[in-house]
Structure 1
Amino acid sequence: MEPLTPLLWTLALIIAFVAGLVKGAIGFALPLIMISGLSSFLHPYTALAGIMIPILLTNLWQVTHFGWTPAKEGARLHWRYVVIVMVAIFAAAQLVTSIPRNAFYFVLGVPTILLSVVQLAGVRLHVPPAHRIPAEWAAGLFSGVLGGLAGTWGPTTALYLMAVDTPKARQMVVQGVIYGTGSIVLVLAHLRSGILNAETAMFSAALVPAALAGMGVGFRLQDRMDQDLFRKATLIVLVIAGANLIRKGLGL
């Protein structure tokens, strides 16, 4: 990676803080915000590497924030989803370096827009109990592939949990388990792919304090705000960020 100017370092830290704040408040979207923001002024591989360690540590905090006992129960209930996400993340991550730079912007931008628009539109999927096992495997596979390529599997996971009628109180815990296990695999996979190396790992680690500080603020806001309004505003920002990535992919 090329040396960053003080201005770019400041922008990177602000993006990490905002991403952490949103994650603390609504439980996901840190990778989407960070990858969209960092990719606007960094090479996409560097941006992808930069989100690795913040993803890992914020997800582990999310798990511990709600307690280990609920986390174990969440893992037991959704073990199929957890397993397929981990396998798919590791496999898909090995393909990242073979994707051309312009195409990689599409890999980041298109899912960002589609997933954000789906949630803004209020799409409410429902999976009948008889179909939940195959749906769990299919949704986990899709989420894992997206996670391995773009570092984000939060929105698809949130949509799946709502589709199987997961109680709201349990969603934050289960999301933490799925994101936590997936982020461990993501880091290991990109150590192998070469995206995360000694140089980019230092950059990623430097963003951790800002992300954790933002998440701490987000946790405090969680019970004091209109989360639906905040969530919609976040998704609108993500649509704009995704459109900017697609613009870069088109060379405009």
Structure 2
Amino acid sequence: MTEHILLIALTFLLAGLVKGVIGLGLPTVAMGLLGAAMPPAQAAALLLVPSFVTNIWQLFAGPRFLPLLRRLWGMMLGIGVGTWACSGLIAGGAAGLATAGLGAALLAYAAIGLARPGLRVAPGIQGWAGPLVGLATGAVTGATGVLVIPAVPYLAALGLERDELVQALGLSFTTSTLALGLGLAWHGALAGPQGASLLGVSLLALAPALLGMALGGALRARVRPEVFRRGFFIGLAVLGAEILWRGL
């Protein structure tokens, strides 16, 4: 792990910068870059602390936590169940399958981000659609460590105000991170000296992640967010294709 310290620091600095500019992307960038250099289970363990701290900060920075929780609790329950049920895939011995799944998830997220389909979810179906989306998101999270598919497109399709959407994303990512950490621990991926080392490095990775977020916040006023967002998704697509190719 020590040979990867510089890579980890630079990865979380970049991931934090992306999150600072466009409001999301830290776990996705971290999983993509780290997953190109180490098994997905190790990459997922390293993102636990920075992802949890930055997303819980995003969650409680908004004004509508309880109303959003009442509206989205079924989806959050689905995320928890799906992640725990499928976390054995990323924590197990099928490293090639997990790597290919990570690449495919990154490609799917990039395609949706570039297409921006402008979907809308009718209020009448949200009662059953939310838990199903949560289960699907949990399955992808448990298998690949990617927290965003299909949660981000679904939440964007609910017609939330901007601040509500940011807070809802924080709620979803916080739930996914907690469930992923519990799943990895349940399957022994955080046990023993290696697990303690991974969590220790994850804690240290919080500093460059927060620094990156601060830099991203300052950069946001100087760049066009749409241009940055497009470049982010194009880069994510290239990275996902490379990881998918390597995992097959």
In structure 2, do the counterparts of structure 1 residues 214 and 141 end up closer, same or farther at CA, with 3 Å as the change threshold? same
Please give the secondary structure, in 2, of the residue aligned with 1:127. coil
Inter-partner Cα distance in structure 1 for 2:126 and 2:38? 40
The structural deviation recorded for 1:182 is 2.5
8 Å CA contact 1:29, 1:155 repeated in 2: no
Is it true that 1:52 corresponds to 2:52 in the alignment? Answer: no
- TM-score, L = length of structure 2: 0.90
Please give the secondary structure, in 1, of the residue aligned with 2:119. coil
8 Å CA contact 1:52, 1:183 repeated in 2: yes
Given the alignment, which residue of 148, 152, 160 partners 2:154? 160
Aligned pairs, how many?
A: 244
What code does the residue aligned with 1:216 have?
Answer: A
Q: Deviations over 1:173-230 (max 9, x none)?
A: 1111221232222222211222222122122222111112112223344455422221
Inter-partner Cα distance in structure 1 for 2:215 and 2:227? 17
Inter-partner Cα distance in structure 2 for 1:234 and 1:155? 16
Given the alignment, which residue of 195, 212, 228 partners 1:230? 228
Q: Deviations over 1:46-73 (max 9, x none)?
A: 2222112111111122123x24x42222
Please give the secondary structure, in 1, of the residue aligned with 2:2. coil
Q: Deviations over 1:61-94 (max 9, x none)?
A: 2123x24x42222212211111211221122113
The structural deviation recorded for 1:238 is 0.7
Is it true that 1:119 corresponds to 2:128 in the alignment? Answer: no
Is it true that 1:61 corresponds to 2:57 in the alignment? Answer: yes
Please give the secondary structure, in 2, of the residue aligned with 1:154. coil
Aligned to 1:188: 182
Q: Point out the more displaced range, 13-22 or 124-133.
A: 124-133
Is it true that 1:173 corresponds to 2:167 in the alignment? Answer: yes
Aligned to 1:12: 8
In structure 2, do the counterparts of structure 1 residues 76 and 152 end up closer, same or farther at CA, with 3 Å as the change threshold? same
Query: RMSD of the alignment, in Å?
Result: 1.9
The structural deviation recorded for 1:97 is 3.0
Given the alignment, which residue of 15, 19, 29 partners 1:33? 29
Is it true that 1:149 corresponds to 2:143 in the alignment? Answer: yes
8 Å CA contact 2:39, 2:99 repeated in 1: no
Given the alignment, which residue of 199, 217, 224 partners 1:219? 217
What code does the residue aligned with 2:77 have?
Answer: V
Q: Deviations over 1:73-127 (max 9, x none)?
A: 2212211111211221122113323351211111100011012112201222222
Q: Deviations over 1:13-35 (max 9, x none)?
A: 11111111112222222111111
Is it true that 1:249 corresponds to 2:243 in the alignment? Answer: no
8 Å CA contact 2:83, 2:138 repeated in 1: yes
Please give the secondary structure, in 2, of the residue aligned with 1:94. helix
Structure 2 stretches lacking a partner, 5+ long: none
Is it true that 1:22 corresponds to 2:18 in the alignment? Answer: yes
Identity of aligned residues (%): 27
What code does the residue aligned with 2:103 have?
Answer: G
Please give the secondary structure, in 2, of the residue aligned with 1:95. helix
Please give the secondary structure, in 2, of the residue aligned with 1:78. helix
Is it true that 1:77 corresponds to 2:71 in the alignment? Answer: yes
- TM-score, L = length of structure 1: 0.89
Inter-partner Cα distance in structure 2 for 1:101 and 1:94? 11
The structural deviation recorded for 1:159 is 0.6
Is it true that 1:135 corresponds to 2:133 in the alignment? Answer: no
Please give the secondary structure, in 1, of the residue aligned with 2:150. helix
